[in-house]
Amino acid sequence: MKNNLNNLVTESINENSKNIDRVSTQEMIEIINNEDKKVAFAVEKEKNKIAKAVDSITDALKNGGRLIYMGAGTSGRLGILDASECPPTYGVSNELVQGLIAGGEEAIRNSIENAEDSKEEAIKHLKNIKFSKKDFLVGIAASGTTPYVVGGLEYAKSLGSETAALSCNPDSKIAEVADISIAPVVGPEVVTGSTRMKAGTAQKMVLNMLSTAVMIKLGKVYKNYMVDLQVKNNKLAERAKNMIMEVSEVSYKTAEEYLEKTDYNVKLAIMMLNSGLEKDKARIELEKYEGRLAEAIQNNK
């Protein structure tokens, strides 16, 4: 195992930080910041593969499938974080995008390091959510070698599901298994092997791209507004009213009135205001265009 780890970019020694324990606080922060600057450029090199994954995930979701993230440690937590943000931001069900982590719920807050070594646990977790060939699995592992993730991808492939691997090492084990390999190589970490740093940042950026682009393609965004957000508190209510005011060029009072008319359905309120249709007809037209507000408005002017 030692030799295998030494061959991984994510486990190699960073020459730029080898004296980080003997520099001033200011220098320490500059070293970390300079290393962080490399992350976006590493992600940029993977943009074609990210786009390919987005199209495949979108097709899966349109055909009744789900997007499932699977990882251990930091990687697993990042998947859970991304999944948990989709319902409030885009109004989708909690089941549509899900995150699975080695060690289960306890591992979200506490480190359970040996959990990642079990392929069997991965299969058990996927069976628990009734994973099927319609679903899309993204396996996340900075090293690209995590058995839990490898096992999950192998099981998904055995069912005929499409898969993607997200790693920060080139030619990784999970890349061999998955249909699409996304591998932003960010180089050695400031603290050797601490992949919660640059590798974690890169993974977070990629996951942001995947879920955001998929939701846009599913009609959850109009222009650059999150028109399917769930209005759950006062702050979000004000955001919804401001959104309607800006998009539909109406007063605060009118925005508030239409929000109440639609039971705080921002997209429906905007559709009514911009098409002149009554609520039931506006809803039918939105459904006709699968929630794509721009198309629905364009064809009802």
pLDDT in tens, 220-239: 999 999 999 989 899 999 99
Residues 205 and 238 in one domain: no
The pLDDT tens digits for 26-66 are 999 999 999 999 999 999 999 999 999 999 999 999 999 99
- pLDDT mean over 73-80: 95
Q: Which CATH number belongs to the domain containing residue 59 in this structure? A: 3.40.50.10490
Burial class (CB in 10 A: 0-12, 13-18, 19+), 128: exposed
Report the percentage of the chain scoring pLDDT > 70: 97
Query: b/e string for 212-224 if b means 16 or more Cβ within 10 A?
Result: bbbbbbbbbbbee
Q: Is 99 left (phi over 0), alpha (psi -120 to 50) or beta?
A: beta
Whole-prediction pTM value? Answer: 0.91
Q: How many CB atoms lie within 10 A of CB 191?
A: 14
Give the separation between CA 65 and CA 134, rounded to whole angstroms. 5
Give how many domains the chain has, as a whole number. 2
Claim to verify: residue 104 and residue 66 sit in the same structural domain:
yes
- Judge whether 84 lies within some domain: yes
CB 25 within 8 A of CB 101: no
The verdict on residue 222 lying in a domain is no
Q: Which residues pair with 97 in a beta bridge?
A: 67
| CB 10 within 8 Å of CB 197 | no
Distance of alpha carbon 169 from alpha carbon 10, whole angstroms: 7
Same domain, 274 and 199: no
Residue 12 pLDDT grade (very low, low, confident, very high; cuts 50, 70, 90): confident
Q: Does residue 109 contact residue 39 with C-beta atoms inside 8 Å?
A: no
> In terms of residue numbers, what domain contains 240?
234-298
Average pLDDT, the chain: 93
Residue 117: other Cβ atoms inside 10 A: 14
Residue where one domain finishes, among candidates 160, 189, 217? 217
Q: Which of 217, 246, 270 is the last residue of a domain?
A: 217
Q: What would the pLDDT profile of 139-184 be if each residue is shown by its tens digit?
A: 999 999 999 999 999 999 999 999 999 999 988 999 999 999 999 9
Quickly state the pLDDT bin for 193 (edges 50, 70, 90): confident
Are 207 and 261 members of one domain? no
2 — pLDDT class (breaks 50, 70, 90) = very low
Phi, psi for residue 226 in degrees, rounded to 5? -85, 80
Q: What is the token pair recorded at 48? A: 């074609």
Is 5 domain-assigned? no
Write the DSSP symbol of residue 69: E
Token pair, residue 112, equals 């359970």
Distance from C-alpha of 191 to C-alpha of 197, rounded to nearest angstrom: 8
C-alpha triplet 61, 62, 66: angle, nearest 5°: 15
Q: Which two tokens stand for residue 53?
A: 């994954």
Return the active site residues: 85, 116
Q: Between these two residues, 128 and 192, which has the higher pLDDT value? A: 128
